[in-house]
Structure 1
Amino acid sequence: MQRQSYTCGLDAAIDVMGGKRKGLILFWLGEGPLRFGELRRTVTGISERMLTLQLRELEASGLVHREVHHQVPPKVEYSLTEFGHSLIEVLGPLGQWGEENMERLEASREARGPAGVSGSAAP
């Protein structure tokens, strides 16, 4: 089965960012190279398995570079590629928008309740 083409640029950007924590991973790697353990401590709310999976997907997309240093103990560092840095540049304004509207967004999320639906009951 062939994958459907993107319908617009936003569709392509969201596809590469798909995953709850990928934006945070990219944000922290924008500060400089990090080892896996450092990322695990920095990106809260993600399991080791999920972090590994999302790093692999970001690497496959060409956004993240994985470098293995052959030493004892083994050392693996993750960093942004030039392509990854180009994405970080556009994520900055999105993060700023989130900061400016965080209270409003949190209030809206609380009003929807735990299931993500509005407070009104279905008929």
Structure 2
Amino acid sequence: MSDRKFHSGIDYSLSILQEKWQPTLVFWLGFRPLTLDELRQLVPKMSGDELKAELAKLQNLRIANPIKDTENCYSLTEDGKDFRQMMMSLSIWGKQQMNDNENKRSVLVIEPETDAKLSELIKYNKPLRDYINYDE
């Protein structure tokens, strides 16, 4: 992505949002700090090498912290948290517009508690797919 010339801030932001796994990783990393093993369980379709490569990309973009915390967890930078908030607002707005255009009722989706067990978070992937670019 670094070789591409961007024409606007929207163009740059969309290049991140259109990546296959980055929106999903941004969502989970902003939810709470997570270990590599937890991320593998939350995004089981990614191989370990693919996950590490995507984390490195997010670190290079200054979205994910370049080092793990003392618990050996990955997390978002302050800019990454801002990006996640924008991404979530955009995804909710877009899903509501899609539903309105199809005369469907939008379902209110609430994020799980930050202390939820991993098994509960894994179940959250299903509704999450409707809101972000998630290819399971």
Settle same-fold status: TM greater than 0.5. yes
- The answer as to 2:101 corresponding to 1:96 is no
Rounded to whole Å, the distance in 1 between the matches of 2:88 and 2:28 is: 12
For the pair 1:61 / 2:57, whether they are aligned, the reply is: no
- Unmatched segments (≥5 aa) in structure 1: 70-74, 105-123
Partner of 2:77: 81
The aligned residue for residue 118 of structure 1 is none
AA aligned opposite 2:93? W
Q: Which 5+ residue runs of structure 2 have no aligned equivalent?
A: 103-136
Greater length-normalized contact order (CA 8 Å, ≥ 6 residues apart): 2
Residue of structure 2 in register with 1:9 after alignment: 9
Question: Contact 2:33 / 2:75 at 8 angstroms: preserved in 1?
Answer: yes
More strand by share: 1
Matches of 1:39 and 1:4, distance apart in 2:
28
Identity value in percent = 27
Runs of 4+ in structure 1 deviating by more than 4 angstroms, as ranges, are none
Partner residue, 2:39: 39
The root-mean-square deviation of aligned C-alpha atoms, in Å, is 2.3
Q: Which moved more, 1:60-69 or 1:30-39?
A: 60-69
Larger Rg: 1
Q: Is the 8 A contact 2:16 2:23 kept in 1?
A: no
- Structure 1 residues 42 and 98 mapped into 2: Cα distance closer, same or farther (>3 Å)? farther
1:5 to partner: Cα distance: 3.2
